[in-house]
Structure 1
Amino acid sequence: MLHPKMKKLFIGVDIHKRTHVAVIINCFTEKLGELRFENNKKGFEKLIEFVKSHLKRGITPCFGLEDTASNGRNFTRFLLNLGYTVKSVDASLTYTERRNQAISHKTDGHDAFCVAKVLLNQLDTLPDASIHDDSWTLQLLVSRRNSIVKVRAASKNQVHSYISHHYPSYPKFFTVTYCKAGMEFFQNFPSPSKLRGITKEELAEFLSIHSSGFFGIEHAEKILKLVEKDGDTSTEYQETRDFIVSHCIKEIKHCNEELEVIEAEIKKHMKQFPYKLETMPGINTITAAMLISEIGDIRRFSSSDKMCRYSGISPVACSSGDKDKNFRNKQGNRRLYEIFRDIASRNICRGRDKKSPINDTFLEYYNKKISQGKTKRQALIAVMRQITKVIYSMMIHQREYIKPTVSKTENA
């Protein structure tokens, strides 16, 4: 009786933007053929004809795709519509297989060959490739939002570097530097040279208009006194630096407008998902969207422990003989790790009154780990693990967050 793998051909595909490379091997790791084809329907059909030319009676093809940038979505959809078995091969598995060679090298053909070998050796454990347009579209929205946030942060850093020379006391001007009135002030008065001839009444009127009456004559006097105390900071080419500050402020305002639009679109798209992650403290709609975009289909994880390992929260076990140690995991999905870390940090913080905790259950668990001798980082990772279990349960059962009750005796 033949082994099931002897009835299959294994096609590893290295995915790229314009062209893909496929390598066919049999169950004995013998390379049967290699083909480079275009990333379009004509190229896909060319590959299918190439694969069929190597098929024999009773042999079925199985495809493995290493797709790290979603460039193979159309190809995956094409194969699934034809009814073929398609597996998703993680790039880390291909990397490990490539490093196992006597002489490590990297070419598209060799990468495809390594994908095919991983497909052969781990056929039963590799996840099925699937097309989820809803989570993929959400991922694109979140990625676009993150790009805008990075541009805004870069512009803010540039503004800080310039106005710290122009206005050494600028942090005292406004409680929040980039409030509406603050941005209007620095755009119109990027340096003290622009304030020459401006009376406190004129500045008070300007601030009042752009703060809806919140700032008045007292705040205008405060700013002018701080500017006078700092002295004249004008230097050569001041006009050019003033232009840069004003331009950066305009870019920040534009980014704020774009963020409002894209966040509204994210909230609109989130209505398609049945999850209720926003009911948990520390998770708003944007954070929930980031979670869903990174996790994708929650059913691909059979347990919360596997999701912990996927996100790099679970420790790495290292043992030899009678020695057994656990080390911090630096692998996994680091974007998802950062999201869980942010949620955990919010849950162990105290509210604005600095007295009542955001989530006393997780804060108590954090303090318990600290009392057991754990470091702050270790205690936070322990909270992240518990939060991962809660979020996994909320997503798999599509239910709201239920805060655990803590008895008074436990609090004591």
Structure 2
Amino acid sequence: MVDYIYAFDVSKGKATQVLYKNNKCIEESDLEFTRKGFEALLQDIQRIPGQVTLAFETTGIYSKPLERFCQENHLTYHNLNPLEVYNRTNGLTLRRNKTDPADAHKLAQIMSIFNFQPSVMKDPLYEEMKRMNACYLEIQEAIDRLYVKFLEAIYLCFPGIEQAFSQLKNCFALTIIEKYPHPDYVLKVSRTVIKNFIKKSTAKNISKQRAFQKADQIIECAVDAYPSVSKDSFYCQVLSFYATQLKNLLNQKCSIQDKMITLSSQFDEFPIYSSVPGIGELSACQLIAELGDLSRFKNHKQLNAYVGIDIRRYQSGKYTGQDHINKRGNRKARKILYVIITNMIRAQRHAPNHIVEYYYTKKQPPFNKCHKVAVIACMNKLLKCLYALFNHHTKYDYELNASHRK
């Protein structure tokens, strides 16, 4: 048991702190998350003669300053899950007393009763990858939301223009629509002007003939189009604005993706994850970002719980509920794994993969599982596979796996 416990109830920019010695409070005060506040806290800790342990709940960005303070000063600290703290403190008293000082005292008390594992200092590279992936996913969500509005504006201003392009969600198509948001803008200029703008708008060195063909397709769409608004409508400016914003977001997305792939080359996991059929460079980067260092997990079951696909069972008396996954873990990791499994199923003809074989085993008798249940089972299988590959420092080998299953 430690001699002294510093417990913090963290809020925005400050925290209520209590100091306990042998399960007795000897000090209670407030801590401001400023340079002076942390310098004073460090001096107080250094003056304490015995071993000091710090404890606080994970509260998103609000607890980050305190976590950095502990890491920079090499202090023993416990960054606890709020759900675990709630379950532990729920039996301390029957009274419902919720205040910042009361929460700090309860946290100090359970630290004296239960044996929590100290938090391990995280590798800064993993934290950087996680921040990059979070930004990447935020940009992707912004693109998806804006694209819906963009399609609505196209329907009003230039219906049918999508037929001139293989897809609208690329910089070339967006540049053309940004320049010509209404068919009247296309019809009032010559075919040569459109051809020249097309050649200037693409990084590809397309021929003059190909540029004329694309110009003819755009003119044909403009001739057939019957927009809901005139070319002077404000909706046309909105469509150009959406096209500009989408271009910027797509460029930012590509930039972050390149940075993630460059940074991931420093991780030993990257070639291991990428060796699995169906996991590309970007998916491998996202797995590194969300799963982090797998060496901190004692077994694959802990990894499953971290992701949130461990089974939740409920039984009381004669009633037995249906099994579900907990969904208390990393939802971003679950989403990435779900996408990876579906990509594996789509691309199964390109490379043999025992995960896909396991999927069809679950779909057939005697299991007869539905698609989502089979995919979740494959996510469990994939995590177990990645965990084993990581611990043995080896790449995926289908033939070796097939021989083990015989």
Same fold (TM over 0.5): yes
Task: Give yes or no for contact 1:136–1:293 (8 Å, CA) kept in 2.
Answer: yes
Counterpart in the other structure of 2:187: 196
Counterpart in the other structure of 2:55: 64
CA offsets 1:3-43 (integer angstroms, 9 cap, x no match): xx3x5333222344532322234555x54432211224532
Match of 1:42 among 36, 40, 62: 36
- Offset of residue 389 of structure 1: 0.9
Counterpart in the other structure of 1:269: 263
Counterpart in the other structure of 1:33: 27
> 1:366-405 residue pairs with structure 2 within 5 A?
366-371=359-364, 372-404=367-399
Q: What amino acid maps onto 1:145 in structure 2?
A: Y
Counterpart in the other structure of 1:241: 235
Task: Give yes or no for contact 2:278–2:344 (8 Å, CA) kept in 1.
Answer: yes
Match of 2:3 among 8, 11, 20: 8
Counterpart in the other structure of 1:295: 291
1:230 matched to 2:225: yes
CA offsets 1:328-364 (integer angstroms, 9 cap, x no match): 322111111112112111112236xxxx155442222
Q: What amino acid maps onto 1:261 in structure 2?
A: S
- Offset of residue 261 of structure 1: 3.0
1:254 matched to 2:254: no
* Unaligned stretches of 5+ residues in structure 2: none
Structure 2: distance between partners of 1:234 and 1:139: 45
CA offsets 1:197-249 (integer angstroms, 9 cap, x no match): 234454345435545437444444444333333324324961x2222222222
Match of 1:319 among 306, 315, 318: 315
Task: Give yes or no for contact 1:347–1:358 (8 Å, CA) kept in 2.
Answer: no
Structure 1: distance between partners of 2:89 and 2:154: 51
Task: Give yes or no for contact 2:157–2:239 (8 Å, CA) kept in 1.
Answer: no
Q: What amino acid maps onto 2:101 in structure 1?
A: G
CA offsets 1:101-121 (integer angstroms, 9 cap, x no match): 645564433333343344334
- State the Cα RMSD in Å: 3.3
CA offsets 1:252-282 (integer angstroms, 9 cap, x no match): 2222333333333223322322222222223
Counterpart in the other structure of 1:365: 358
Match of 1:170 among 150, 158, 161: 161
1:279 matched to 2:275: yes
- Offset of residue 137 of structure 1: 1.9
Structure 1: distance between partners of 2:11 and 2:390: 33
Change (3 A) 1:149 1:65: same
Secondary structure of the structure 1 residue equivalent to 2:313: strand
- Offset of residue 291 of structure 1: 2.0
Change (3 A) 1:17 1:170: same
Counterpart in the other structure of 1:110: 102
Counterpart in the other structure of 1:347: 344
Secondary structure of the structure 2 residue equivalent to 1:10: strand
Change (3 A) 1:407 1:304: closer
- Offset of residue 378 of structure 1: 0.6
**Range with greater deviation from structure 2 (226-235 or 246-255):** 226-235
Change (3 A) 1:267 1:407: closer
Structure 1: distance between partners of 2:195 and 2:118: 64
1:306 matched to 2:299: no
Counterpart in the other structure of 1:337: 334
Match of 1:213 among 206, 210, 213: 206
Structure 1: distance between partners of 2:6 and 2:133: 33
- Offset of residue 297 of structure 1: 2.6
Percent identical pairs in the alignment equals 19
Structure 2: distance between partners of 1:99 and 1:250: 53
Q: TM-score, normalised by structure 1?
A: 0.82
Secondary structure of the structure 2 residue equivalent to 1:348: helix
Structure 1: distance between partners of 2:161 and 2:90: 54
Q: What amino acid maps onto 1:388 in structure 2?
A: L
Secondary structure of the structure 1 residue equivalent to 2:56: strand
- Offset of residue 299 of structure 1: 1.9
CA offsets 1:135-182 (integer angstroms, 9 cap, x no match): 112222222333333333333232112112122323322111133431
Task: Give yes or no for contact 1:89–1:118 (8 Å, CA) kept in 2.
Answer: no
* Unaligned stretches of 5+ residues in structure 1: none
